[in-house]
């Protein structure tokens, strides 16, 4: 296990990622868009390629050797995900296309089965659209009320305000672990306790936390935890829904078709056991294999050291980027990780991103699929630089030089 956080981001770690061999507009790639998608290490790319080269097959339903091998790889990936999240059982891991599908699955099953007119669903003002829209749909369909925990000027949630909004009509609370737009780290264990005190289920959107923090779903006390593979150094189109077994067993299926059934007749259908009940159709076996390789890659590192490396980079960026004239940070929560969101006076965020791209620097601009939050913080859009374990202070220095170029052009 690699434990020295100073080793992270060095040439030996960056060499694991073929993307950094590329040149963008004649410049060495500086990749600071990790909150959107991380780069993939070679071991992940090779794991997917090896599975495909060795002869891929469908899982579970075949008796031939390739099917047995594919099934072993797929179910092995489930066990890897179980260990990564410290779930009690492998059957609590459902493979989905990503965090978005996972949240929709819970809203359409647990939500529609248990939420009715006069009930309430609680979210926070920090949420990604994926953790807003499905709950809006649920409330519109059932006559329930969607309530929102307000955000402070610094981009924080106050637990006492959340506690004042949860009541005996609250059926479900959904909250991000880490804000994708401004990096706020929520006290999700305390939030789980508040939700459970009123009998509400608690879902955590962990898409931005799982790449950066050691996640223990049992210690967090959540009922559901969702993540996306492509933000965890894995492939796109694959993700994980963790759900407590007793809840998953009671929930209705999400989609109908093959694999999620035990027996089918024209008169009635009986469903498979969890997790297969939620995995209709041919799964993304290659994606699961790649995601397992990504989890294995991440656990090569001391997760505490990796988090310390990224926080140290964020502190360095606070100092260096904050010294650039005209830069104003957006979202200054006391507990943050991995994300630096800012505006440049007199320059639209999209122009900032375009000029930086010309220098080989990749950031994200806009409202980051968190439009209510960005509007609450009083800006139309931000520039967002987000770090990962392969980033270095050199990347931050390049960003600072790029922002100086932005200032030259517009001032």
Q: Which positions are annotated as active-site residues?
A: 369
Query: Coil, strand, or helix at residue 164?
Result: helix
CA count, 13 A, side-chain hemisphere, 241: 27
**Which of 296, 287, 298, 322 lies closest to 390, judged by CA?**
298
Query: 172 pairs with which residues across the strands?
Result: 121, 201
Return the sign of the alpha-carbon dihedral for residues 18, 19, 22, 26. Answer: negative
Query: 202 pairs with which residues across the strands?
Result: 173
Which H/E stretch holds residue 189? helix 188-197
Q: Note the Cα 16 to chain centre separation in Å.
A: 22
Whether 237 contacts 97, CB under 8 Å: yes
Distances in Å between the alpha carbon of 389 and those of 9, 195, 383?
6, 33, 20
Count the residues in the chain. Answer: 411
Query: Coil, strand, or helix at residue 109?
Result: helix
Q: List the helix and strand counts (H, then E) for the chain.
A: 15, 17
Instruction: Map tokens 């880490």 to a residue.
Output: 178
User: Residue 277 has which token pair?
Assistant: 């009940």
User: Residue 180 has which token pair?
Assistant: 């994708």
What is the spatial distance between Cα 290 and Cα 235, in angstroms, rounded to a whole number? 6
Return the sign of the alpha-carbon dihedral for residues 288, 291, 297, 299. Answer: negative
Which H/E stretch holds residue 152? none
Whether 75 contacts 305, CB under 8 Å: no
Whether 79 contacts 55, CB under 8 Å: no
């Amino acid at each position: 296990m690699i434990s020295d956080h100073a080793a992270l981001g060095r040439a030996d770690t960056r060499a694991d990622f073929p993307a950094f061999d590329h040149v963008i507009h004649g410049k060495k790639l500086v990749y600071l868009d990790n909150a959107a998608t991380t780069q993939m290490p070679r071991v992940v790319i090779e794991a997917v390629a090896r599975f495909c080269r060795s002869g891929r097959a469908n899982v579970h339903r075949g008796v031939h050797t390739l099917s047995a091998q594919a099934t072993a790889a797929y179910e092995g990936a489930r066990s890897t995900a179980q260990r990564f999240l410290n779930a009690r059982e492998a059957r609590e891991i459902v493979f989905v296309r990503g965090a978005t599908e996972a949240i929709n699955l819970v809203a359409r099953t647990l939500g529609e089965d248990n939420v009715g007119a006069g009930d309430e669903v609680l979210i926070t003002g920090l949420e990604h659209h994926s953790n807003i829209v499905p709950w809006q749909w649920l409330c519109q369909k059932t006559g329930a009320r969607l309530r929102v925990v307000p955000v402070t000027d610094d981009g924080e949630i106050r637990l006492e305000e959340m506690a004042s909004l949860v009541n005996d009509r609250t059926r479900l609370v959904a909250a991000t672990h880490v804000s994708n737009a401004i990096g706020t780290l929520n006290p999700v264990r305390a939030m789980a306790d508040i939700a459970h005190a009123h009998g509400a289920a608690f879902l955590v959107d962990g898409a931005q936390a799982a790449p950066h923090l050691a996640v223990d779903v049992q210690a967090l006390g959540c009922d559901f935890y969702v993540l996306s593979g492509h933000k965890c150094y894995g492939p796109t189109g694959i993700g994980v829904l963790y759900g407590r077994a007793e809840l998953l067993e009671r929930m209705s299926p999400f989609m109908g078709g093959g694999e999620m059934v035990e027996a089918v007749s024209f008169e009635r259908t009986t469903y498979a056991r969890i997790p297969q009940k939620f995995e209709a159709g041919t799964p993304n076996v290659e994606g699961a294999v790649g995601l397992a390789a990504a989890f294995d890659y991440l656990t090569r590192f001391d997760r505490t050291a990796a988090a310390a490396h990224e926080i140290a980079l964020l502190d360095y960026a606070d100092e260096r980027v904050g010294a650039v004239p005209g830069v104003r940070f957006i979202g200054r929560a006391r507990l943050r990780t991995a994300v630096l969101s800012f505006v440049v006076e007199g320059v639209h965020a999209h122009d900032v991103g375009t000029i930086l791209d010309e220098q080989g620097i990749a950031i994200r601009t806009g409202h980051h699929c968190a439009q209510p939050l960005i509007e609450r913080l009083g800006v139309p859009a931000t520039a967002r630089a987000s770090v990962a374990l392969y980033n270095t202070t050199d990347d931050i220095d390049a960003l600072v030089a790029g922002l100086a170029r932005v200032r030259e052009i517009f001032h």
